[in-house]
Amino acid sequence: PATDQQIMVESKPLTRLNSLSDFQDGGPSHQRRSSLQFSFRSTFNNNTANPERLAKENDMNGFRQFVGLYKNFPLADDVLKGASYRQEAFKESGKKQLNHVRGTDGWFRSMLTLEVRAIDNYFPAWLMVTLNALLASFLSEVFEMKMGHAIIKHWDTVYSLVLKTSLAFLLVFRLNRCALRFWEARGYWGAVTHLTRNLVSGILMYCRHSPQHRDQAIRWASAFCVASMHFIRSEHEYNYDELAGFLTESQINRMKDANHAALFAASMCRYHLHKAFRIDAFTAPQKAHAYAIQLNELESRVGRLVEQVSGMEKIRSTPLPVAYVTHLRTFLFTYLCFFPYAWVDDWGWTTVPMVAFTAFALFGIEGCSSEVEIPFNRSRANHLALDAYCMIILESVQGLIVQDANLCTQTELDQSFLEEEIKKMEPPRTSSSDDSSIGMSLTEKDEFTFSA
C-alpha cells in the first residue's frame, strides 16, 4: 500500500514529450513554417523532432532505474514511474484547448472554423436582429410601407455621426479591457511556472541535509500548480493520475477537501521547509545564520506563488462593471434593430443578408470580449490551456529532480572509483609497526593521494 513517504506506482512505458519549448504558444520558427505547427496539439500527438535523442534519454533513465541507481532517490524514482500517467491524464482533460485551431495555423484554416468564434455567446441576439430585418423587408416590399427621403437622410446623419462613432468606441474599449485581462491571466500562469522551477531548484540545492523533508517540500510545491488550476476553475473532483508520482491519493484527498487547495499545498510546502531548516539550541551559529538566509529566500518564492493565485482570483471574481456591459449591449442591440428600417427602401430584400452580416461582425466583437473576460473554463476552446501549463511545470520539475539525482549518483560513483584506485595503487603494509619499514613513507603517500 502507498504511504506518504513511499509512493508505489506501477511502471508504464514512458512516451516522452518533444521538448518543453514545443508546449509554448505561438507560431513555429521560420525554418519550420512549411511543416507541422509546433504547439500544444502537435506535442501531445507525439510529433517528435529528435526521436533518437529522446529514445536514448528514455533508455538511460530506464537503465538507471533497472540497476537501482535511484534506490537512494525515491522522489526521482517515483516521478519517472508516474510520468506516463500524468501525460495521459492531462492530454484527456485538456483536449478542448489542445486540439482546436490556433491563430498561427494559417489564414484559411483559422477563418474556416466556427467552434472558436464563440457564436453561442451572441446567437440569440443575432437571430432576433436578422428576423427583425426580414420583417422590415417584408413590410416594405409586400405592404409597400416606405419611409420618406427626408427621414432616411436624417437617419443617415444620425447613424454616421452619432451612433457609429459612439458604438465603435464602446466596442473597442470593451475588447481592449478583456484582452488585457486575458493576457494578465496568462502572465500569472507564466509566473507560476518560473517560480515553481526556481523554488524546486532552490530546495534541491539547499535541503540536501534533510532528504525526507526536502522531497516532501518538492512534492507539495509541484502540486501547487494543479491545485491552483482546479481551484480557479471551481472544480472539486481531481484526477489522481495528474499528480502520479508526486502525491498519494490520501494526500490529494486532504488537499481537495481543504477550503483553498492552493493555499493548502503552499502551507504544506512551508511546513516541510521549516522542518528542514529547523534551528535549535544545538545548531551552530554559522549554520543557523545560513539556514535563516536560505529559508527566507525559499519562503519568499512560496509567497510569490500565492500572489499569482490571488491575482487569478481577482480576474475571476471581478468582471467588467455590469453598468458598462448593459449599456453597450442595449445600445448595440437597439442600433441593429433600427438599422434595416433606415436602408430597406434602397436595399429591398438584400437588407436581410446585409443586416445579418453587419450584426455578425458587431456581435462577434462583443462575443469575443465576453469569451476571454474570465479565461479559465475547461470547456471553452479559447480559454487558457491550464492542463498543458501544469504538464509543463511538472515536466520541468521532473527534469530537475532526475538531473539532481544523476549528479549525486555520478559524484558517489566517482568517489568510490577514486577510493578503489587509490587502494589498488598503494603498496601493501608490512607487519612491522615501524613507519620506516613501509614501502612508501607517510609523506609520500599523502602526496600520492592528493595527486590522485
Label residue 178 by pLDDT band (50, 70, 90): very high
Alpha-carbon distance of 452 to 444, in angstroms, equals 12
Alpha-carbon distance of 122 to 108, in angstroms, equals 23
Query: In this predicted model, what pLDDT tens digit does every residue of 104-123 receive, in sequence order?
Result: 788 888 888 887 888 999 99
For the chain, give percent helix, strand, coil, nearest 5. 70, 0, 30
| Of 89 and 434, the one with more pLDDT | 89
Q: What number of CA atoms fall less than 13 Å from residue 32's CA on the CB side? A: 13
Alpha-carbon distance of 81 to 62, in angstroms, equals 10
Alpha-carbon torsion, ordered 268, 270, 271, 277, to 10 deg: 150
Query: In this predicted model, what pLDDT tens digit does every residue of 203-245 receive, in sequence order?
Result: 999 999 999 999 999 999 999 999 999 999 999 889 999 999 9
- Is pLDDT above 90 for 271? yes
- Is pLDDT above 70 for 153? no
Determine the pLDDT at residue 20.
41
If one counts every other C-beta atom within 10 angstroms of the C-beta of residue 211, the result is 14
| Of 445 and 179, the one with more pLDDT | 179
The per-residue pLDDT of the chain, averaged, comes to: 80
- Is pLDDT above 60 for 359? yes
Q: Pick from 100, 161, 102: which is nearest to 381 by CA?
A: 100
Q: What number of CA atoms fall less than 13 Å from residue 367's CA on the CB side? A: 22
Percent of the chain with pLDDT over 70: 73
Query: In this predicted model, what pLDDT tens digit does every residue of 290-322 receive, in sequence order?
Result: 999 999 999 999 999 999 999 999 999 999 899
- Is pLDDT above 80 for 150? no
For the residues of 104-149, what is the DSSP string, one character each? TS-HHHHHS-SGGGTGGGTHHHHHHHHHHHHHHHHHHHTS--PPPH
Mean pLDDT value of segment 71-80: 88
Mean pLDDT value of segment 347-353: 89
If one counts every other C-beta atom within 10 angstroms of the C-beta of residue 174, the result is 21
Question: Of the given ranges (132-146, 295-309, 358-372, 384-398), which has the lowest mean pLDDT?
Answer: 132-146
Q: Pick from 164, 187, 122, 170: which is nearest to 370 by CA?
A: 122
- Is pLDDT above 50 for 194? yes
Q: Pick from 448, 394, 300, 354: which is nearest to 86 by CA?
A: 394
